[in-house]
């Protein structure tokens, strides 16, 4: 039977919860008095449908049903999980809980998205305080896995375990906070950074963009994959966390920040931190941690490159500056070098060499380069015409490992009318390791049907094809998959 979640409050966070539950197969019931709630939540869910499935390499469960209700009582009537995401006013939240508990099942989980209130404050006027916990997510809820789960002595262990199991089933990471505290764990970090940032702006030290750049080009990338203490463990080198604290701990007494109320680094505190760090990461050598960090950072940065955002945009600009303008070579008597690059870490597979899908990507990059060289660039495509791939054949002749520099040369076998027939050869050093044969068809992006290219493009492509016609026909052209005897 499909489980039912009730969402009370459909703002940014409530809408994100609705999307997370819905796309994980739950039926979702929403109450929000905002007359625009259906439109706003619908737009959030559309964003989730576009992005969340991309996190999984397996199909998500069938999407649940979404209903909007005019009353809290109708929304929570058959719900096993109720998520409150109303504005951060304690009296409002308590009033909502009283209404919810008057109409919901006695064993339903009532989670609050509050970023600041402690669960004991929320339970204060409750009919059944054992039913209410903090489940504080981070925006966007449908993508970020962290949920801070905070209970009190009023909440039975079995109840908290059930809540953790539900959140885990949603693909989230429930971090159970050991003791309730204002703003839980993560928001206390955010508040510290936020307050220091406000001082930097007020004192004329930095602008909002400069502060964001300091985070997204630097420590924010490290934090994203190792957090704070594992990052600092690496900074301590082979001597570990204790050495890092002993070396940099005294700086906490220096006037580097407006937030000067810090604990004294006693021997007991240093031993506690060093011991916890050993338990967390001591099974790895410093070199292991460095390699894991490097692999993770390459993956993150390459993902940002694909989106041309933040540090990824910086890398793309650097690539363009190093490469220079893309121009057709004067000498067309040889195949054209269309790709020259190193194999990145995230292109390799469990066999230690380049994944077969990346061969296609590399050859696709070569095809894209040839399209630009003949005149099918971004402006040409924006004007409504392009080339589509009709057929591809790849032969794997050798291996390419991470760090190896590959070179792809491209020969135009046909370049008349609507067709562009390309043959790519991939080399590692002087060794031929793969070939890719591609038949491209020129199309109208309006009709999605084949059409003739512009006169200028046709002339350029024809000139290259005529020059390449004098070259030997490469081995492997026209080959099909077959079994050698």
Which tens digits make up the pLDDT trace of 277-306?
998 888 988 888 888 888 888 889 989 998
420 strand-pairing partners: 440
Binding-site residues for NAD(+) sit at 9-14
Confidence at 454, pLDDT banded by 50, 70, 90 = very high
148 strand-pairing partners: 136, 175
Q: What is the pLDDT of residue 136?
A: 96
Q: What is the sign, positive or negative, of the torsion defined by CA atoms of 348, 351, 354, 358? A: negative
In Å, how far from its chain's centre is CA 362?
22
Average pLDDT estimate for 313-332: 88
- Tell me how far apart the alpha carbons of residues 170 and 165 are, in angstroms, rounded to a whole number: 9
Confidence at 403, pLDDT banded by 50, 70, 90 = confident
DSSP conformation class of 218? I
- The CA distances from residue 373 to 330, 359, 391, in Å, are 12, 21, 21
Write the CB contacts of 407 (distance below 8 Å, at least 6 apart in sequence): 337, 339, 340, 426, 427, 428
Q: What is the pLDDT of residues 5-48, one digit of tens each?
A: 999 999 999 999 999 999 999 999 999 999 999 999 999 999 99
The structural domains of the chain, ordered by start, are: 4-176 (3.40.50.720), 186-291 (1.10.1040), 325-468 (3.10.129.10)
Confidence at 85, pLDDT banded by 50, 70, 90 = very high
Q: Which residue has the tokens 């692999």?
A: 295
Q: Which residue has the tokens 């999605």?
A: 448
User: Residue 371: pLDDT above 60?
Assistant: yes
User: Residue 256: pLDDT above 90?
Assistant: no
User: Residue 484: pLDDT above 70?
Assistant: no
- Tell me how far apart the alpha carbons of residues 377 and 190 are, in angstroms, rounded to a whole number: 43
Q: What is the pLDDT of residue 298?
A: 87
Q: Do residues 255 and 261 touch, judged by C-beta distance below 8 A?
A: no
Q: Which residue has the tokens 């941690």?
A: 289
DSSP 1-61: ---EEEEE--SHHHHHHHHHHHHTT-EEEEE---TTHHHHHHHHHHHHHHHGGGG-SSPPP
Q: What is the pLDDT of residue 125?
A: 86
Average pLDDT, the chain: 92
Binding-site residues sit at 9-14
Global pTM reads 0.80
Average pLDDT estimate for 386-406: 94
Helix (H, G, I), strand (E, B) or coil at 136: strand
């Amino acid at each position: 039977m499909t489980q039912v979640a009730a969402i009370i409050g459909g703002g940014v966070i409530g809408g994100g919860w609705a999307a997370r539950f819905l796309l994980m197969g739950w039926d979702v019931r929403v109450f929000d008095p905002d007359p625009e709630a259906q439109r706003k939540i619908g737009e959030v869910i559309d964003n989730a449908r576009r992005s969340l499935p991309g996190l999984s390499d397996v199909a998500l469960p069938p999407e649940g049903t979404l209903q909007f209700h005019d009353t809290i009582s109708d929304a929570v009537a058959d719900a096993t999980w109720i998520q409150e995401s109303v504005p951060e006013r304690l009296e409002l939240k308590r009033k909502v809980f009283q209404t919810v508990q008057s109409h919901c099942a006695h064993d339903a989980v009532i989670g609050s998205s509050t970023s600041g209130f402690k669960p004991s404050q929320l339970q204060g006027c409750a009919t059944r305080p054992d039913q209410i916990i903090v489940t504080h997510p981070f925006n966007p809820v449908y993508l970020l896995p962290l949920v801070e789960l905070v209970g009190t002595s009023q909440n039975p262990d079995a109840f908290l375990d059930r809540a953790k199991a539900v959140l885990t089933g949603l693909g989230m990471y429930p971090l159970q906070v050991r003791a309730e505290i204002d703003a839980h764990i993560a928001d206390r970090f955010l508040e510290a950074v936020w307050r220091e940032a406000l001082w930097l702006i007020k004192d004329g030290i930095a602008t909002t963009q400069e502060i964001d750049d300091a985070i997204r080009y630097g420590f924010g990338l490290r934090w994203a994959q190792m957090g704070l203490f594992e990052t600092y463990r690496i900074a301590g080198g082979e001597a570990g966390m204790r050495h890092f604290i002993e070396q940099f701990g005294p700086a906490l007494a220096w006037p580097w920040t407006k937030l000067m109320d810090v604990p004294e680094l006693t021997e007991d505190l240093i031993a506690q931190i060093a011991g916890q760090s050993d338990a967390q990461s001591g099974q790895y050598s410093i070199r292991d941690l460095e390699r894991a960090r490097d692999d993770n950072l390459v993956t993150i940065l390459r993902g940002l490159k694909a989106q041309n955002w933040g540090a990824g945009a910086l890398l793309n600009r650097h690539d363009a500056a190093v490469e220079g303008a893309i121009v057709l070579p004067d000498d067309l008597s040889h195949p054209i070098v269309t790709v020259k690059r190193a194999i990145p870490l995230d292109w390799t597979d469990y066999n230690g060499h380049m994944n077969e899908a990346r061969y296609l990507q590399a050859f696709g990059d070569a095809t894209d380069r040839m399209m630009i060289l003949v005149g099918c660039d971004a402006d040409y495509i924006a004007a409504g015409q392009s080339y589509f791939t009709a057929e591809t054949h790849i032969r794997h002749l050798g291996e390419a490992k991470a760090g190896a520099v590959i070179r792809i040369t491209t020969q135009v076998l046909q370049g008349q009318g609507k067709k562009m027939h390309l043959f790519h050869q991939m080399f590692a050093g002087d060794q031929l390791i793969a070939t890719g044969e591609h038949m491209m068809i020129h199309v109208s992006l309006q009709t999605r049907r084949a059409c003739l290219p512009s006169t200028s493009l046709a002339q350029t492509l024809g000139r290259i094809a005529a020059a390449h016609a004098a070259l030997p026909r490469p081995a492997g052209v026209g080959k099909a998959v077959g079994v050698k005897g």
